[in-house]
Amino acid sequence: MSSKKKDLGVTPLSEDVSAWYNEIVFKAELADRGPAKGTMVIRPYGYTMWEILQRELDQRFKDTGHVNAYFPLFIPESYLHREADHVEGFSPELAVVTHAGGKELDEPLVVRPTSETVIGEMYSRWISSYRDLPVLINAWNNVVRWELRPRIFLRTTEFLWQEGHTAHANEADAMAETLQMLDVYAEFASTVAAIPMVEGEKTPGERFAGAVRTYTIEGMMRDGKALQSGTSHYLGTNFAKAFDITYTDENNAVQPVHTTSWGMSTRMIGAVILAHGDDQGLVLPPRMAPIQIVIIPIGRDEGGAAALDKAEELANELKAAGVRVHVDSRDASPGFKFNDWELKGVPLRAELGPRDLEAGHVLVAHRVGELDDKGRPVKEQIPFAEFVERVPTMLDAYHQFLLDRADAFREENTSVVDEWGAFADQVSTGFALAFHCGRPECEDDIKAETSATPRCIPTHGEDADGTCIRCDTPSAYGKRIIFGRAY
RNA sequence: CGGGCUGUGGCGCAGUUUGGUAGCGCACUGCGUUUGGGACGCAGGGGUCGCCGGUUCAAAUCCGGCCAGCCCGACCA
């Protein structure tokens, strides 16, 4: 049994998170490795999650007044050099095209690692008056950053994302935009992905190359590590000055615009995998699940055929009610299918066999929930007449359950610490709330000793004063900041 | 890019020490029996042993180089 289970299953998450993550990505058919180093193929099951994320986020962008556009993949190399910090930050990971059309190019083209520079160039052409502001544009695209240590979804050489780029008349408007979009990300993560996020500002050492202030949402994964899941930057007038993006104000004075940029990527899929998964495989939050409920008809011959008919009838009604449902009519045993869909993280499973047909109900089990004395999910009998109406309610309740569970997990693994020894222990399993002096060298020292980094200065943290957890000099932030190991 | 480990049918592995005509489990194909927690029987198909070169009568096995993957660091959405 155990050896059989081992052959068929995956390395338990509780045993080895890295091995579990790699196996689950392949076995659940989310993605595969591409032939070139660091590239990934997103398979239909994984891509459907991306499509759902896109739809949900895009709606939120539109609701907050943004419009979509597309900017080019290739950027003249010189553009990157116009903003000093920006090049410095990105040049180590640029892919550069030097030859094309059978000859060497006059000027190399970089494959965009992000689009601040091309967009800056275009905004300088489009903006001339305060009447043109704000400009609120988002782009869905792919970017390339030459990563030394790729991991599917978490860090790939090419990844999909959206990058919002806005231009405003003054700092206050741009800052309001920056913080608004951070809230959009946090709300999305909680409402759709069932992941509670800590919102906060990055310390100077962790700031985006070229930004004045960088904000982040940080989620806690099942192993207590942090994952930066979305970022929003106030770029000040740095790019306005580098690309001459200016406007004439009401008093006929020429002013630089204040810009922002904000992004969420396919890494968010990795966050969903790592925030909810368990030893049996994926656990998908219902609002991101490609399949929200799978119906498994049981039995063969007449009984089986009748079960299949009824399953399809119920599935059609669920579809009409807006539920993503799948009927598994494969020629495989029920037990195999149960395990298969559990591996794939489908939130609800309905079983429907001759006995249920007779009794007029289906048996519904939750992917994560109460277990019976055999350690199997409790199955609830739901009469046919109530089924279609109850599924959406059950999905909502299950969403809430996963969110609460993730929230409780984060609470349990977050502690206030004021002593160095306790700090080192705490960051090995979760988040530490501690005072810090704010010096980048001290951050480096902490990282060298514990592999933990400052994740953020939490927006909702309480005001407090103290001395640095590492070097005892006064705290720089007026509150405790969050440290943790990160993906 | 540094340090460690690993490359053998789709997946997981044995075989490498001591060179001698490539094997197991799962998956796959066909037929039959099965179907309420990873079914069974019979019959099949599939591998230039990561790549290149060397030693040898003979290389998965020994030697050199390269490539890829994983883990730990540095970089990062």
pLDDT digits (tens, 9 = 90+) for A308-353: 999 999 999 999 999 999 999 999 999 999 999 999 999 999 999 9
pLDDT band at A92 (very low <50, low <70, confident <90, very high): confident
Q: Which of A415, A455, A480 is nearest to A199 (CA)?
A: A455
The per-residue pLDDT for range A121-150, each reduced to its tens digit, is 999 999 999 999 999 999 999 999 988 888
Q: Where are the alpha helices (DSSP H) in A192-332?
A: 238-243, 267-276, 301-320
Q: Is the pLDDT of residue A38 over 90?
A: no
Question: Which residues numbered 110-139 in chain A sit less than 7 A from strand B, measured from CB?
Answer: none
Nucleotide closest in space to A233 (CA vs C1'):
B77
Contact A273, A194 (CB under 8 A): no
Protein CA at A94 to nucleotide C1' at B24, angstroms:
46
A98 touches strand B (CB under 7 A): no
DSSP A131-187: GGPPEEEEEEEEEE---SS-BTTTB-SEEEEEEEEEEESSHHHHHHHHHHHHHHHHH
Which pLDDT does position A6 carry in this prediction?
A: 38
Alpha-carbon gap, residue A125 to A5, rounded angstroms = 62
Spell out which residues of A between 382 and 441 contact strand B, using CB within 7 Å: none
Query: Is a pLDDT exceeding 60 seen at residue A11?
Result: yes
The pLDDT value recorded for residue A112 is 94
CA separation, residue A364 to residues A128, A369, A387, A404, A410 (Å): 61, 12, 9, 21, 29
Residue A453's SS3 state is strand
Nucleic strand B within 7 A of Cβ A460:
no
Per-residue flag: A375 CB under 7 A of strand B: no
For each of the domains in chain A, give its residue range(s) and CATH number, in order of start.
Answer: 2-276 (3.30.930.10), 293-395 (3.40.50.800), 416-484 (3.30.110.30)
The predicted structure's pLDDT at residue A103 = 87
How far apart, in whole angstroms, are the C-alpha atoms of residue A286 and residue A272? 11
Please give the structure tokens belonging to residue A336.
Answer: 């195999």
What pLDDT is stored for residue A81 in this prediction?
92
Q: Identify the pLDDT of residue A222.
A: 92
Mean pLDDT across chain A, nearest whole number? 93
**What ipTM was estimated for this complex?**
0.89
Give whichever of A3-17, A92-106, A207-221, A441-455 has the largest mean pLDDT. Answer: A207-221
How far does Cα A302 stand from its chain's mean position?
46
Strand, coil or helix: A482: strand
Looking at the C1' of nucleotide B74, which residue has the nearest alpha carbon?
A148
Asked whether residue A267, judged by its CB, lies under 7 Å from any atom of the DNA or RNA strand B, the reply is yes
Q: In what order do the strands lie in the sheet with A481-484?
A: A67-68, A135-144, A158-168, A258-265, A226-236, A213-220, A198-201, A453-458, A481-484, A431-434, A414-416
A242 CA vs B15 C1’ separation (Å): 64
* pLDDT category of residue A9 using cuts at 50, 70 and 90: low
Q: What is the pLDDT of residue A7?
A: 45
Please give the share of chain A, as a percent, with pLDDT higher than 90.
80
